[in-house]
Chain A
Amino acid sequence: MSDVDRSIAEAPLPTAGTLRRRKNLFYQVTRFVAFNFRMMKMVTRAHH
């Protein structure tokens, strides 16, 4: 096993809860809004 693959093998695995949240429609809608808000803030900063 290479050093890189060893490092990957030691990386934290998402828990079942995290995996569920990543697919949960209700939770993801809130993440969608939050991320797009953050992105818009960044974009408006770039347009001065």
Chain B
Amino acid sequence: MARVVILGAGISGHTAALHLQRQLKNKAEIIVVTPNSNWNWIPSNIWVGVGKMTKDQVTFPLAPIYKRKHIGFRQAKAVAIHPEGSPDNPQGFVDIVYTDPTRSGQEEQLTYDYLIVATGPKLNFAATPGLGPDGNSWSVCTAGHAEQSAAALETIIEALKAGERKTLVIGVGHGTCTCEGAAFEYTFNVEHELRERGVRELADVVYLSNEYDLGDLGVGGMTFAQNGFETSSKMWTESLFRERGVRAILRAHVEKVDPGVIHYEELDGSKHTLDFDFAMLLPPFRGVDMKAYANNGDDITDDLFAPNGFLRVDADYAAKPFEEWTPEDWPKTYQCPRYANVFGVGIAFAPPHAISEPRKSPNGTVISPAPPRTGMPSGVMGRTVALSIAERIRRGDQAPLRTASMAAMGAACIASAGTGLRKGSAAAITMYPIIPDRKRFPGSGRDLTQTSGEIGLSGHWTKLLLHYLFIYKAKARFGWFMIPE
């Protein structure tokens, strides 16, 4: 029986596992390897970070789901891939090390017929000295981090209530970060919380980002058609900042975070400091630390993975200037070029380049967002690769692969700007395609009829609906597959 091993049980890996099981039932053995025992609906971590949800509301244990679905589960982390197998057995395998408390540290070699790498990002706090919960700032990247942020925020609110002035800085902690959307959401959720608690007047809320303009969000900004005008996401976002009284520092690379002081460089090369009482700064992402070896033991990590640690797939990685970037550079099947039975999905695949225009300061510091790979495309990639593999297992190695290029895919992004069934709000954005195509859509590169943004209470309802729908789906409850990724 063919065996499919999936590394990572996040949005993309877990989606792939469920679809593979549904497609193949008992025709294949499906094994998921992931270091965490829980699944996390990461988008709702924002609400954990302001104390509006608990960790338990955004996570659930994976083991019972996999047991019910007859999917093998190893609570372990993959440390190396051997795509050519060993000298006496050409079947590929992965080295895993258990994180399961009952067998922590034990090693195993897991052979596979097909491998899906869905390991998401390594939260690279180490890139910026002092960044992160082990340093001098907070994070909302995991539910645990978000809980810590909520506790720290509560302390600040108490001090504000006592009449002290406080500066809260929220943003990204390095010039090459991605996920500005999450920083934006947390900024406005914190601002909303401060208002709800009656302490907004004494708080200075500052958004600190590597974006060139507000509203860039790592996708080079957007253009919306509104009231008969083409409106830029820059103006649209600036309007929200003005309305809510949030200051912004843009084009910034955080160099280090000392206790209470952020040191940053701006795109013009100038260096600054910013004092803070509370800082939530997202880390830059890189691929998780995995090695790769040929069957003779040679280290082939650099063949399999790009320098940023993400898996090379069927993208065009030739270096070229911004003006020459095309939608065709982006991968379609997510198949590894050297090993046809290895695929990379979600954040784990190496993008060919950024989406936003790349920029460097006169000191050579890169200050521009890396390309985001949000939940919706990550889920679609997981499902697409699952269907490709299921087809190959059923019909043989020549069965055509399915495609799901980000250049032919839209995305919906609901950026929460505060919670509450009556008082909440969110910026609800749709864009098509994710990767701008200036030949098809001269000007902004996106279809104006399908790229839109609006702010209001209904956005909050949608975000809440997605929270419940996606947790239902991830629990593989009745009819889960009818809920699209």
Q: Which residue of B lies closest to A31 (CB)?
A: B458
- Residues of the A chain whose Cβ atoms lie less than 8 Å from the Cβ of B428: 35
Query: What CA separation (Å) do A43 and B428 show in the bound complex?
Result: 15
Chain B 418-445 per-residue mask, 1 if CB under 8 angstroms from chain A, else 0: 0000110100101010000000000000
- Residues of the B chain whose Cβ atoms lie less than 8 Å from the Cβ of A29: 458
- Residues of the B chain whose Cβ atoms lie less than 8 Å from the Cβ of A45: 409-410, 432
Interface residues on A, range: 20 to 34
Query: What CA separation (Å) do A36 and B238 show in the bound complex?
Result: 25
Given A8-B242, A13-B242, 20 additional A-B pairs, CB 8 A = A4-B250, A5-B247, A7-B238, A8-B248, A9-B242, A11-B239, A11-B241, A12-B239, A25-B457, A28-B457, A39-B430, A42-B432, A45-B409, A45-B432, A46-B376, A46-B404, A46-B409, A46-B485, A47-B383, A47-B484
B311 to chain A, nearest CB (A): 22
Query: What CA separation (Å) do A39 and B33 show in the bound complex?
Result: 32
CB of B53 within 8 Å of the partner chain: no
Chain A 2-33 per-residue mask, 1 if CB under 8 angstroms from chain B, else 0: 10110111111110000001110100110110
The B interface is mostly helix, strand or loop, or mixed, namely: mixed
Q: Can you list 25 A-B contacts with CB-CB less than 8 angstroms, sorted by A residue number?
A: A4-B249, A7-B238, A8-B247, A8-B248, A11-B239, A13-B239, A22-B425, A23-B423, A23-B425, A25-B422, A25-B457, A28-B458, A28-B461, A29-B458, A35-B430, A36-B465, A38-B450, A41-B450, A43-B412, A43-B484, A45-B410, A45-B432, A46-B484, A47-B380, A47-B383
Q: Which residue of B lies closest to A45 (CB)?
A: B410
Most A CB within 10 A of own CB, among B241, B425, B465:
B241
Q: Hey, which bits of chain B sit against chain A, CB under 8 A? A: 214, 235, 238-239, 241-243, 247-250, 376-377, 380, 383, 404, 409-412, 422-423, 425, 428, 430, 432, 450, 452, 454-459, 461-462, 465, 484-485
Query: What CA separation (Å) do A4 and B454 show in the bound complex?
Result: 22
A1 to chain B, nearest CB (A): 10
Given A11-B242, A13-B239, A43-B376, verify A23-B457 contact (CB < 8 Å): yes
Query: What CA separation (Å) do A27 and B428 show in the bound complex?
Result: 15
Given A13-B243, A22-B425, verify A35-B404 contact (CB < 8 Å): no
